[in-house]
């Protein structure tokens, strides 16, 4: 791969001739008289060596089309109009401590200072500027790439391969492709196609640009001169975890305080090559059904766990061990059972005392084969062997510390690899660019909508519609681009979050990734979103909402409280990431706050950085946020002070993706979710002490597996609502479950018993996502109830991804048919207006109520910029878009336009900033169907892709 030919010729390390003084007093620099050569470097008062970079121009980004590097395009010419000084290498810990005495940061890229936030870096620059009386700042992204290339056009200044770490580039700069990653001045945003002079990025955003290497991964691809990374500016070492802040270390407690066993898994069968700390909450384990994200254990591995076992009886207990290979159990240091279990169940007897904790050590080894499992059962007094219940297993902080000392170091939250280098120069005079927000954040109603309007709750209601178009669902990335979708959109769209916004709109957030092994693990995974505007029958086209470049964004969760809606999500694979982070909106998703990170009090136990699909707030104000733990278990993060501080509640459920609801008596019920079972059935977990301990039991519902997630919701009626599949993703189900497909259920008695009904209208599993499932599925589910009583669900793993509407009356009715609803006339039309604070008109929209009670947009809807220009113009007929729909830029030129025909066929046209056509695609309903064409900025035709029913017809 090469970027050859991108760099303009004639740029060297000398000042351009023709200037009277060899070094002009630009930006407050020293004026040189022309008789003495300008210096090429100097060392400032804190020992930072700065190197002079000449003015010049280059082509920024990469012209090599590559799906993983879409944000490096379009390659565009950039002029750096004035020379500047930039530090030879990153600022060191020693230099930074002149600003913050005693600070050590994360110490992961010594001697460079790392683990600092963007504000810390700019704070250092401001302090140094005051100290020396000249302007210091961070480099812009353009300055950084210009200096990194140093007159070259190849992926690295050294050519096609990275340079030696100690080598300097032709302009004297070191560590541009290695060492600490580096904060840049700019907010991260898409590149402009036109030539630019001294660009400084967009005016605002959620992510600051980072250069000098990848964040999730450190392979050479992510260290190229053109590579872009980024993170939230508040990302820094968590308070209380800097080495200088850490209290004198106290010996960890030997008293067990967590459920489960703790250990380490190894890369070899003989318990060598330790890989990571491993927590298990059950002794019924199947690693072929599930492996921890980012921990593909391969065909040869082993593990050893320890903790305590608390038996319920006194006397001899027989342990029964089943495994595909070797396994061993030791009680109080004595081997009770061990050997090769592949030939049959191993048994051994230990004498125990009821309620007395015994030290237990469990070992396992896997050496190839189709199966990888371990099951430990026990029996006494001639009873049938039964699984060892999770509540009998526990481990102590001291045991956790011992296992952690064996495994490779896992960084504390915020102990990341990002540092910075400095520039000595005035700020470029360029104005910040306009932040281009996705349409899902534009034209958002702020005034009151008639959100209570809805179907009669006494009459059954069941409806479904496509949530997302095809493509991108189950289509190649090139197909999505050809159809006019965002360049980072990929085929596997999954793990949905859903919330009913204060204005009545629905917002759905999902991740987009590739299919196949490792597809969900890649740094290019991002969060996309779509909006169903109140009164409309059609979801907006999906667009990016959260994308930390070079970081895997996943596991979105939306939760509302009053007028505020919170968006939580995780960074599963970034070492040093927090367990989660969040942003919030108070205007129904039009704008989002800066990203916040949790400050934890106390020990953080083993976990995955993956929030689930539910949360509860108890009567005492404690907020509980479920998240995946390790293996087939989940946990609750909790905050008692409005999210100012957080803590790990300590216990673990049985089931990954456990979905929760608050019971009337204050207990918390957790259902499922997957990769755990009791006799083939889904487990349930109940805690009466805020997640510290869980009591596990069996439900009547089938256990779930990979690609499945149930959803639990407390309804306005007081009932509990539950939804899931009637078989797992491999087609397995317990004998008592007679039907296949999916179900919805209601409980009147806090989950003790359920009224269960098969959900009609489900679709077959997407073969690209669930090859082993021959049945219809809902995949991952999320449910929310609107103020009008309608239950909304989003489900994935089908083509297309679906949005469901239903009510309790349908679940309780005897009618099992899927319901179709003919178009209804709209009456009682009303006009709604919104006004800017200046008094200017912001929008005019119209809508009314159907005979069935639904509110529908009807007639022309027009939104305006504050200067009076039209922003969005669309027509509706009883909630369905008709005629021409156009979204405009502030200068009056179109961004895109649709022509909606009565036969459900439509044409989507997108435009370059100058108003020329960029691409045009033809659609039938939610599927691309017909020609899709594209043009370059000059109007030259680039090519055509023909679609048939959502797929390119080759």
The pLDDT tens digits for 155-171 are 999 999 999 988 999 99
Q: Would you state the pLDDT for residue 368?
A: 87
Q: Would you state the pLDDT for residue 289?
A: 66
Q: Would you state the pLDDT for residue 292?
A: 61
Q: Would you state the pLDDT for residue 448?
A: 84
Q: Would you state the pLDDT for residue 394?
A: 95
* Model confidence pLDDT, tens digit, residues 404-420: 999 887 788 999 999 99
Q: Would you state the pLDDT for residue 248?
A: 54
Annotate 445-497 with DSSP letters as a single string.
--SPP-TT--S-TTS--EEEEESS-BTTTTS-HHHHHHTT--TT--SEEEEEE
**C-alpha closest to that of 98 among 74, 54, 128, 120:** 128
Place of tokens 């004198």: 248
Pairing relationship of beta strands 776-777 and 623-628 according to DSSP bridges: unpaired
Q: Is the pLDDT of residue 18 over 60?
A: no
pLDDT tier at 36 (50, 70, 90 boundaries)? very low
Q: Is the pLDDT of residue 15 over 90?
A: no
Q: Would you state the pLDDT for residue 32?
A: 33
Pairing relationship of beta strands 196-197 and 76-80 according to DSSP bridges: parallel
Sign of the alpha-carbon torsion through 323, 328, 332, 334: positive
- Exposed, middle or buried: residue 688 (CB in 10 Å: 0-12, 13-18, 19+)? middle
pLDDT tier at 518 (50, 70, 90 boundaries)? confident
Q: Would you state the pLDDT for residue 906?
A: 98
For the chain, give the mean pLDDT. Answer: 92
The three-state secondary structure class of 120 is helix
Check: CB of residue 665 under 8 Å from CB of residue 652.
no
* Model confidence pLDDT, tens digit, residues 259-283: 899 999 999 999 999 988 999 989 9
Annotate 223-286 with DSSP letters as a single string.
GSTT--EEE-TT--PPTT-STTTPPPPPPPP-S--EESEEEEEESSTTS-SEEEEEEES-SEEE
Q: Would you state the pLDDT for residue 435?
A: 79
**Average of per-residue pLDDT across 629-644:** 95
| Distance from C-alpha of 130 to C-alpha of 134, rounded to nearest angstrom | 7
**Average of per-residue pLDDT across 123-152:** 98
The three-state secondary structure class of 320 is strand
Q: Is the pLDDT of residue 821 over 80?
A: no
| Residue 259 preceded by cis peptide, ω within 30 | no
User: What one-character DSSP code corresponds to residue 642?
Assistant: T
| Reported CATH class of domain 42-243+414-424 | alpha beta
Q: Would you state the pLDDT for residue 247?
A: 53
User: Per CATH, the architecture of 258-395 is what?
Assistant: Alpha-Beta Complex (3.90)
Q: Is the pLDDT of residue 87 over 90?
A: yes
| Residue 572 preceded by cis peptide, ω within 30 | no
258-395: same fold as 42-243+414-424? no
Q: Would you state the pLDDT for residue 342?
A: 92
Q: Would you state the pLDDT for residue 193?
A: 87
Check: CB of residue 323 under 8 Å from CB of residue 342.
yes
Annotate 696-765 with DSSP letters as a single string.
EEEEEEEP--TT-B-EEEE-TTS-EEEEEESS-TTS---TT----SEEEEEESSTTSS-EEEEPTT-EEP
Of all residues in the chain, the percent with pLDDT exceeding 90 is 83
pLDDT tier at 819 (50, 70, 90 boundaries)? low
User: Of 3.90.930, 1.10.8, 3.40.50, 1.10.3470, which CATH number belongs to 827-952?
Assistant: 3.90.930
Domain boundaries, the chain: 42-243+414-424, 258-395, 462-812, 827-952
Q: Would you state the pLDDT for residue 294?
A: 57
| Reported CATH class of domain 462-812 | mainly beta
Q: Would you state the pLDDT for residue 5?
A: 33
Q: Is the pLDDT of residue 4 over 50?
A: no
pLDDT tier at 243 (50, 70, 90 boundaries)? low
Q: Would you state the pLDDT for residue 818?
A: 66
| Residue 74 preceded by cis peptide, ω within 30 | yes
Spatial CB neighbours of 608, under 8 Å, sequence gap ≥ 6: 292, 293, 570, 572, 627, 628, 629, 630
Q: Is the pLDDT of residue 760 over 80?
A: yes
* Model confidence pLDDT, tens digit, residues 665-712: 999 999 998 988 999 999 999 999 999 999 999 999 999 998 999 999
* Model confidence pLDDT, tens digit, residues 769-805: 777 789 999 999 999 999 999 999 999 999 999 999 9
Check: CB of residue 935 under 8 Å from CB of residue 917.
yes
| Distance from C-alpha of 40 to C-alpha of 168, rounded to nearest angstrom | 14
pLDDT tier at 632 (50, 70, 90 boundaries)? confident
Tokens of 6: 């991108």
End-to-end C-alpha distance for the chain, whole angstroms:
27
Lowest mean pLDDT among 429-433, 495-499, 559-563, 595-599: 429-433
């Amino acid at each position: 791969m090469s970027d050859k030919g991108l760099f303009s010729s004639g740029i060297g390390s000398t000042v351009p001739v023709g200037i009277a003084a060899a070094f002009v007093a630009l930006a407050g620099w020293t004026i040189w008289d022309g008789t003495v050569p300008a210096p090429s470097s100097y060392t400032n008062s804190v020992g930072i060596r700065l190197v002079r970079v000449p003015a010049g121009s280059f082509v920024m980004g990469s012209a090599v089309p590559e799906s993983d590097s879409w944000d490096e395009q379009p390659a565009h010419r950039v002029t750096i109009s004035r020379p500047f000084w930039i530090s030879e290498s990153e600022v060191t810990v020693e230099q930074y401590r002149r600003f913050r005495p005693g600070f050590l940061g994360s110490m992961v890229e010594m001697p460079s200072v790392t683990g600092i936030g963007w504000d810390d870096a700019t704070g250092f620059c401001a302090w140094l500027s005051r100290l020396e009386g000249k302007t210091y700042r961070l480099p812009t992204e353009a300055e950084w790439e210009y200096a990194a290339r140093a007159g070259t056009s190849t992926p690295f200044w050294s050519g096609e391969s990275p340079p030696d770490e100690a080598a300097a580039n032709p302009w004297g700069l070191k560590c541009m492709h290695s060492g600490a990653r580096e904060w840049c001045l700019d907010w991260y945003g898409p590149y402009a196609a036109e030539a630019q002079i001294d660009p400084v990025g967009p005016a605002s955003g959620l992510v600051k640009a980072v250069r000098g290497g990848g964040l999730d991964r450190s392979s050479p691809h992510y260290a190229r001169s053109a590579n872009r990374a980024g993170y939230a500016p508040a990302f820094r070492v968590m308070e209380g975890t800097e080495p200088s802040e850490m209290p004198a270390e106290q010996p960890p407690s030997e008293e067990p305080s967590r459920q489960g066993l703790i250990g380490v898994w190894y890369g070899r069968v003989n318990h060598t090559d330790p890989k990571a700390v491993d927590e298990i909450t059950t002794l019924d384990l199947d690693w072929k059904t599930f492996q921890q994200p980012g921990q593909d254990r391969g065909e040869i591995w082993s593990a050893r766990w320890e903790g305590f076992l608390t038996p319920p009886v006194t006397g001899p207990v027989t342990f029964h061990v089943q495994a595909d290979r070797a396994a061993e159990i030791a009680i109080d240091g004595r081997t009770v059972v061990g050997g090769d279990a592949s030939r049959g169940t191993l048994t051994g007897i230990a004498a125990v005392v009821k309620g007395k904790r015994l030290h237990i050590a469990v070992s396992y080894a896997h050496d190839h084969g189709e199966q990888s499992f371990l099951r430990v059962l026990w029996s006494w007094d001639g009873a049938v062997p039964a699984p060892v219940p999770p509540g009998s297993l526990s481990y102590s902080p001291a045991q956790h510390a011992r296992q952690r000392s064996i495994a490779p170091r896992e960084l504390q939250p915020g102990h990341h690899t990002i540092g910075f280098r400095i520039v000595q120069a005035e700020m470029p005079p360029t104005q910040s660019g306009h932040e281009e927000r996705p349409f899902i954040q534009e034209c958002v109603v702020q005034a009151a909508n008639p959100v209570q309007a809805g179907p009669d709750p006494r009459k059954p209601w069941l409806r479904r519609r496509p949530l997302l178009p095809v493509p991108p669902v189950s289509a190649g990335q090139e197909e999505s681009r050809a159809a006019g979708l965002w360049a980072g959109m990929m085929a596997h769209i999954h793990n949905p979050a859903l919330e009913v916004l204060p204005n009545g709109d629905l917002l759905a957030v999902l991740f987009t990734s590739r299919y196949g092994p490792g597809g969900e693990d890649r740094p290019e995974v991002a969060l996309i979103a779509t909006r169903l505007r109140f009164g409309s029958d059609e979801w907006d086209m999906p667009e990016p909402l959260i994308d930390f470049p070079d970081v895997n964004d996943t596991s979105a969760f939306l939760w509302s409280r009053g007028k505020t809606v919170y968006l939580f999500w995780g960074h599963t694979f970034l070492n040093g990431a927090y367990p989660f982070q969040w942003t919030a909106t108070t205007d129904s998703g039009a704008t989002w706050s800066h990203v916040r990170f949790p400050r934890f009090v106390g020990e953080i136990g083993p976990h995955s950085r993956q929030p689930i699909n539910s949360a509860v707030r108890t009567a005492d104000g404690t907020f509980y946020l479920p998240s995946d733990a390790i293996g087939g278990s989940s946990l609750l993060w909790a905050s008692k002070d409005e999210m100012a501080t957080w803590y790990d509640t300590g216990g673990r459920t049985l089931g990954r993706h456990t979905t929760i609801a608050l019971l009337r008596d204050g207990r918390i019920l957790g259902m499922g979710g997957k990769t755990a079972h009791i006799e083939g059935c889904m487990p349930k977990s109940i805690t009466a002490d805020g997640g510290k301990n869980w009591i596990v039991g069996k439900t009547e519902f089938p256990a779930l597996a990979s690609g499945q997630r149930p959803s639990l919701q407390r309804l306005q009626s007081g009932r509990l609502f539950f939804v899931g599949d009637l078989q797992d993703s491999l087609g397995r189900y317990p004998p008592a479950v007679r039907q296949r497909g999916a179900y919805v259920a209601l409980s009147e008695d806090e989950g003790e018993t359920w009224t269960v009904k098969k959900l009609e209208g489900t679709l077959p599993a997407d073969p690209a996502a669930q090859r082993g499932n021959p049945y219809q599925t809902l995949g991952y589910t999320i449910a929310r109830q609107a103020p009008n009583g309608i239950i909304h669900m989003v489900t994935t793993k089908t083509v297309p991804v679906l949005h469901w509407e239903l009510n309790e009356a349908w679940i309780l009715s005897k009618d099992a048919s899927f319901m179709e609803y003919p178009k209804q006339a709209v009456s009682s039309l009303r006009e709604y207006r919104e006004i800017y604070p200046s008094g200017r008109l912001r929008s005019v929209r119209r809508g009314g109520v159907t005979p069935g009670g639904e509110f529908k947009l009807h007639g022309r809807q027009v939104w305006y910029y504050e200067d009076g220009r039209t922003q969005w113009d669309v027509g509706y007929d009883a909630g369905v878009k008709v005629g021409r729909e156009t979204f405009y830029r502030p200068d009056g030129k179109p961004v895109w336009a649709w022509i909606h025909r009565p036969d459900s066929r439509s044409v989507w046209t997108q435009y370059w900033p100058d108003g020329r056509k960029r691409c045009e695609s033809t659609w039938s309903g939610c599927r691309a169907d017909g020609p899709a064409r594209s043009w370059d900025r000059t109007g030259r035709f680039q090519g055509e892709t023909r679609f048939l029913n959502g797929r390119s017809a080759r």
